[in-house]
Amino acid sequence: MMKRKINTLLLALGVFLVSSCELDYLENPNAVTESSTDADFLLNNIQLSFRNIFRGVSDSGQRLTRMVNQGANTYETAYTPTSYDGLWSNSYAGILADIKVLKKIAADKGFKRHAGIAKTLEAFTLMTLVDAFGSVPYSEALDASNFNPKADDGAAVYTAALELLKSAKTDFAGTATGTPNDYYYANNYTRWTKLVNTLMLKYHLNRRLIDKAGSTSAIAALITENNMLGVGDEFTFKYGSSANDPDSRHPDFAGQAQAGGGDYQATFFMWHLTEAKGFDDPRAKYYFYRQVSANTTSPSEMECITQFKPSHYPEDMVFCLPGERGFWGRDHLDNDGIPPDGLKRTLYGVYPAGYRFDNNTPAAAGSADMATNGAGILPILLPSFVDFMLAEAALTLGTAGDAKALMASGTTKSINFVRTWSLTTNQAAKITAFESTTTFDANRTKYLAAIAAQYDAATTEAAKMKILGREYWISLYGNGVEAYNLYRRTGQPSGMQPGLQPAVGNFPRSFIYPSVYVNTNSNAKQKADFKVKVFWDNNADGFIN
């Protein structure tokens, strides 16, 4: 971004004298201002900042919902006030401050497309912050003269986000000047409008516990309008394959695939995709890449193979290893020391991290085939998510649509997208050689029949929500934001694997406030504990763990 240059003499002096001999302050050279900024450059930064903010919340959400191992033995040690300092600073000093300036530039110059994108990402950011932290500063947060902005109730910030979405929708429909550099939809504003409507669906579904009537009528109107994300409208961020500074690769690839080590996959999640139904989920070989084909027999590599299942685990709960085929991960809240297993633990696969497709020929990380070199995606909002949200609304609110059929549609779209996107990578030849279209279709049909039978066997709304929620959770791999919301909103998937130790503390119903906020803002007050809920979560204490 272009910054106003400061006279070198003033830099040397630091201050300058005026006739009254009083001190006058210079414009902050680090602050983004309307006169010093190019709208296109600013929008570029906003789009990249949004990716980072979403990714930051998503990572924690995946760990809390057992998609990826949580490497600590209690929630309190996993999440401390410093855990989210970067996320908070990027949100307030970064994207929200930048959007404030861009909206002013856009209004002055008629850049309605720039404004619409900025308002959509501002609304999405605000909803994400509320979903993560609850009450957050907004009404006073962007006043440069106020160093101690008060926190607004989450409901009020959500309302502000909804108004931004309505305004963005108007901007996308109006006459505009300028052509933004659009990282997400390549200037297809029909798709941006579909995204806005989908965010409105997300907004009202999250609020259904506290405003059933309002959510029901609003979602019904969105269904009638029939203009939400469909196949081909996937809202994703596309990573690159360069390791140069800045590293453009998917963070999960960059942190693991080249040298092994890094994250452990969650035993519980891998079990659901490989053993729980008696056959593999069609997405398993896309989600995970095994470095070995058989389980270890060495306790120096995996200590739990010589241990009994913890006594606080339910009898039917998976422990240590999900099956016998080399799916090498860790149980929830297992922070044992790191054994020599970096080149054996299961890695992220081709989807969405941009590594390898698992074609039953395991190889250690760092070998010649680096697959897609990290050119993966961040699945932010997908058409499959829309179907699952509508299924939940149909089941719990009675909105139009058949919940079972919508669940099947969402699952189908998820399975298809995982494969079709993966076929755009250089893993395509491996995929088609291992699994023909006919075989893939048969596996998908088998899977859909199994979940349909389970849904039909469920006799209560709660039992049906258990099947629906579990399938949504599986489809969300790579997106912990919606998984964390789903878990707090519905309690699904229920029966989550407990922490490895009997006492792991309270499950975080919201993130604890960052130290950069509570230590520098006199109006900020840290939460009493992890039991503090966001405004739309009125489920009981102990509802989830």
Percent of the chain whose predicted confidence (pLDDT) is above 70: 92
Together in a domain, 195 and 322: no
Q: Is the residue at 486 inside a domain?
A: no
Q: Is the residue at 11 inside a domain?
A: no
Nearest to 401 by CA among 537, 201, 207: 201
Cβ atoms of 470 and 464 within 8 Å: the answer is no
Instruction: Provide the pLDDT confidence category of residue 260 given band limits of 50, 70 and 90.
Output: confident
Instruction: Provide the pLDDT confidence category of residue 122 given band limits of 50, 70 and 90.
Output: very high
Q: Is the residue at 234 inside a domain?
A: no
Q: What is the pLDDT of residue 371?
A: 55
Instruction: Provide the pLDDT confidence category of residue 246 given band limits of 50, 70 and 90.
Output: confident
Give the C-alpha separation, 225 to 464, whole Å: 27
Together in a domain, 151 and 265: no
Could you tell me the two tokens for 308? 């009994």
Which of the pair, 163 or 259, is modelled with greater confidence?
A: 163
Residue 241 burial (CB count, 10 A):
17
- Residue 130's contacts (CB-CB under 8 Å, 6 or more residues apart) are 136, 154, 157, 158, 161, 534, 535
Instruction: Provide the pLDDT confidence category of residue 368 given band limits of 50, 70 and 90.
Output: low
Compute, in degrees rounded to 10, the torsion defined by CA atoms 522, 528, 534, 539: -160
Amino acid, single-letter form, for residue 480: G
Give the C-alpha separation, 218 to 205, whole Å: 9
| Structural domain of 62 | 39-228+510-518
Which of the pair, 338 or 319, is modelled with greater confidence?
A: 319
Together in a domain, 217 and 351: no
Q: Among 27-31, 354-358, 400-404, 537-541, which is the least confidently predicted range? A: 27-31
Q: Is the residue at 146 inside a domain?
A: yes
Give the C-alpha separation, 173 to 167, whole Å: 10
Cβ atoms of 378 and 236 within 8 Å: the answer is yes
DSSP state of 349: B
Q: Is the residue at 33 inside a domain?
A: no
How do 288-289 and 265-266 pair as beta strands?
unpaired
Residue 256, pLDDT above cutoff 90: no
Q: Is the residue at 10 inside a domain?
A: no
Together in a domain, 316 and 385: yes
Together in a domain, 264 and 374: yes
The residues that bridge with 212 in the sheet, in sequence order, are none
Q: What is the mean pLDDT of the chain?
A: 92
Cβ atoms of 135 and 154 within 8 Å: the answer is yes
Cβ atoms of 386 and 194 within 8 Å: the answer is no
Which of the pair, 135 or 258, is modelled with greater confidence?
A: 135
DSSP state of 543: S
Mind listing the pLDDT tens digit for each residue in 164-191?
A: 999 999 999 999 899 999 999 999 999 9
What pTM was computed for the model?
0.93
> DSSP string covering 242-295, please?
--SSSP-S-HHHHTTTTTS-SPPEEHHHHHHHHTTTSS--TTHHHHEE-S-SS-
Q: Count structural domains, the chain.
A: 2
Together in a domain, 61 and 168: yes
Q: Among 15-19, 275-279, 305-309, 331-335, which is the least confidently predicted range? A: 15-19
Q: What is the pLDDT of residue 254?
A: 83
Mind listing the pLDDT tens digit for each residue in 400-443?
A: 999 999 999 999 999 999 999 999 999 999 999 999 999 999 99
Question: How much is the average pLDDT of 19-47?
Answer: 62
Could you tell me the two tokens for 525? 């007050």
Give the C-alpha separation, 137 to 89, whole Å: 12
Together in a domain, 191 and 309: no
Prior bond of 352 cis (ω within 30°): yes
Q: Among 166-170, 242-246, 321-325, 378-382, which is the least confidently predicted range? A: 242-246
Burial of 230 (0-12, 13-18, 19+ CB in 10 A): middle
Residue 189 burial (CB count, 10 A):
22
Residue 216, pLDDT above cutoff 70: yes
Together in a domain, 264 and 175: no
416: left (phi over 0), alpha (psi -120 to 50) or beta: alpha
Which of the pair, 284 or 370, is modelled with greater confidence?
A: 284
Q: What is the pLDDT of residue 35?
A: 55
Q: Is the residue at 491 inside a domain?
A: no
Together in a domain, 289 and 374: yes
SS3 146: coil
Could you tell me the two tokens for 374? 């990290």
Mind listing the pLDDT tens digit for each residue in 438-475?
A: 999 999 999 999 999 999 999 999 999 999 999 999 99
Together in a domain, 214 and 308: no
Mind listing the pLDDT tens digit for each residue in 75-102?
A: 999 999 999 999 999 999 999 999 999 9
Q: What is the pLDDT of residue 121?
A: 98
Residue 10, pLDDT above cutoff 80: no
Q: Is the residue at 496 inside a domain?
A: no
Q: What is the pLDDT of residue 485?
A: 98
Together in a domain, 349 and 450: yes
Residue 25, pLDDT above cutoff 70: no
Which of the pair, 279 or 12, is modelled with greater confidence?
A: 279
Give the C-alpha separation, 414 to 398, whole Å: 24
Outline where 372-460 has alpha helix (H).
383-397, 403-422, 428-434, 437-457
Helix or strand run (H / E) with residue 152: strand 151-152
Q: What is the pLDDT of residue 34?
A: 60
Residue 16, pLDDT above cutoff 50: no
Helix or strand run (H / E) with residue 381: strand 377-381
For 304-343, what is the HEC assignment? HHHCCCCCCCCCCCCCCCCCCCCCCEECCCCCCCCCCCCC
Amino acid, single-letter form, for residue 327: F
Amino acid, single-letter form, for residue 19: S
Q: What is the pLDDT of residue 144?
A: 87
Instruction: Provide the pLDDT confidence category of residue 234 given band limits of 50, 70 and 90.
Output: very high
Instruction: Provide the pLDDT confidence category of residue 11 given band limits of 50, 70 and 90.
Output: very low
Give the C-alpha separation, 430 to 321, whole Å: 27
Together in a domain, 335 and 448: yes
Mind listing the pLDDT tens digit for each residue in 310-328?
A: 999 999 999 999 999 999 9
DSSP state of 545: -
Residue length, the chain? 545
The residues that bridge with 356 in the sheet, in sequence order, are 349
Q: What is the pLDDT of residue 277?
A: 98
CATH of the domain at 191: 1.25.40.390
333: left (phi over 0), alpha (psi -120 to 50) or beta: left
Residue 29, pLDDT above cutoff 60: no
Amino acid, single-letter form, for residue 72: A
